[in-house]
Structure 1
Amino acid sequence: MDIICTFCSTKLAIQDGKIPKNADFRVTCPRCQTKFRVSTKTDQARARGASGVLRSWFAPPSAAPPPPPEPEEPMEEFDSSAIKDEGLASSPEEDEFVEDRKLGLVCIDSAPQRATVKAALDELGYTVHIALTPEDAIQRIRANRYEVLIIHEEYGGSAERNRVLLTVQPMTMPLRRHMCVGLIGREFRTFDNMLAFLKSVNFVVAERELPKIKGIARQAVTENDQFYRVFRDSLRDAGKI
């Protein structure tokens, strides 16, 4: 049986003989450690309540009040050692050919922080890619044009040797002006423009303020667009574009 992690899109293979039959169970993704629900129940089994009585989806309306919701059945925790990681279900090469969408890339090692940033970018209308290794992130950056890129300073294990940041920093203006890069740090002060300049990013975010990342990212992207709109208008007026 093949399943896809609902968070990082990793394809996971489970031997059929080890899958619980006609049951709901919880799987932990070996890549991102996200827990998500998997069901092998038939449609008929899903329609049954705790009493074992098959509910009719087409029962006529009744004046009687609806019964209280039945308690959720406990789910078995699936043994993750039986799961084979088969890589990302969506590869950077496949992503390259999807058009008409705003792309965001998240490069954060901490699963809870990653989830917070992804949820915020989702709400802002981005199609979010999750890079779980620096190599994956660099490959994706080369294959796609991201409008927003959020990196933790310690992504990959070291603030001094952050390979993704070292890849982005020397990018030329024609590439960087389409990308708004945010850097998260433990000791940062959000929107410290001098630090952002020194780090060659568009904005910096204090790790403690990640719950506010939606508004922070929205403001940073808006300011970046406004700045480069003036820049593009100046080039156009000078006849250079």
Structure 2
Amino acid sequence: MGEDGMVLVCDGCDASFRIPDGKVPPGKTVGMTCPKCGHRSSFTAPSAGNGWHEDSSGPVQESTSDKDVERKSFSSLVFAEEEGDLALVCVEDPELQRQIQKALELMEYQVIAVKEPHEALKNLRMHTCKLVMVHESFGGGESSERNPVLLYLERLPMSMRREMFALMLSERHSTLDSLVAFIRSVNMVMNVRHLPDFEGLLRQGLADHQRFYEVFLDALKESGRG
């Protein structure tokens, strides 16, 4: 490890990434989602006198040369502790964003909070987000029809879309409005007035989502397509 940090190599696609010194506390085990192939690996930051190592499949390559190393900004990678799923929060209002982030962290999510559409789309392309919360007017003015995140989610292949739970925050629509949820291709609509009941509503929605896809996948298996 030098002044430029340590080189880690993804065991899914062999892409190399340089991790700046001090980004991860010594001895801390973190998960990394590779932005190129989506493979998740676990790494442990070095304690004094030790080097980085990958927990799942042996040592990570260390290099003092810049050859074949893809220099990416560390901010483009998300390190999340193993016990937490990633949640992407797309809300422009700082106070609303703070409330949501606090509630999700209490639910043990690792939260990525963004205020700009390009940040949201970059993270959706690079990471596997189990939960996506987006305000109806995020990046699209008054109309949710121009919301770039909602449009992105609408166009995802079903094999990818069913792996995430999408919640649209609204100032206009009622909480649990199933027609609006269907039209906007989200799993749940929540009016901001009901944020005090956020955790209970979200847990119920997640449970319903899981039950639905368990039945769906069982049906695919029975038909020979699963």
Q: TM-score band, normalised by the shorter chain?
A: 0.5 to 0.7
Give the superposition deviation at 1:157: 4.8
Amino acid at match of 2:103: A
Contact 1:102 1:147 in 2 (8 A): yes
- 1:215 is paired with a residue whose SS is helix
Write the deviation string for residues 1-30 of structure 1: whole angstroms up to 9, x where unpaired. xxxxxxxxxxxxxxxxxxxxxxxxxxxxxx
5+ residue gaps, structure 1? 1-88
Residue 197 of structure 1 aligns with which residue?
182
Aligned with residue 165 of structure 1, among 146, 150, 158: 150
Contact residue 81 and residue 110 of structure 2 kept, 8 A: no
Inter-partner Cα distance in structure 2 for 1:215 and 1:147? 17
Alignment partners' CA distance in 2, 1:213 and 1:97: 23
| Cα separation, 2, equivalents of 1:123 and 1:97 | 15
Aligned residue type for 1:194: L
Q: What does the per-residue CA deviation read over 1:24-74, in whole Å, with 9 as the maximum and x for residues that have no partner?
A: xxxxxxxxxxxxxxxxxxxxxxxxxxxxxxxxxxxxxxxxxxxxxxxxxxx
Structure 2 residue corresponding to 1:127, chosen from 98, 110, 116: 110
* 2:218 equivalent to 1:233: yes
For the Cα contact (< 8 Å) 1:131–1:137, is it kept in 2? yes
Bigger radius of gyration: 1
TM-score, reference length from structure 1: 0.59
Aligned residues: 152
Supply the AA of the counterpart residue of 1:149. V
Unaligned segments of structure 2, at least 5 residues: 1-72
Conserved in 1, the CA contact under 8 Å of 2:87 and 2:112? Answer: yes
1:1-241 paired onto structure 2 within 5 Å: 91-92=75-76, 94-95=77-78, 101-158=84-141, 159=143, 160-241=145-226
What RMSD in Å do the two structures reach over aligned CA positions? Answer: 2.0
Q: Secondary structure at the match of 2:95?
A: helix
- Percentage of pairs with the same residue: 32
Deviating 4+ runs (over 6 angstroms): none
Inter-partner Cα distance in structure 2 for 1:90 and 1:118: 22
Aligned with 2:133: secondary structure? Answer: strand
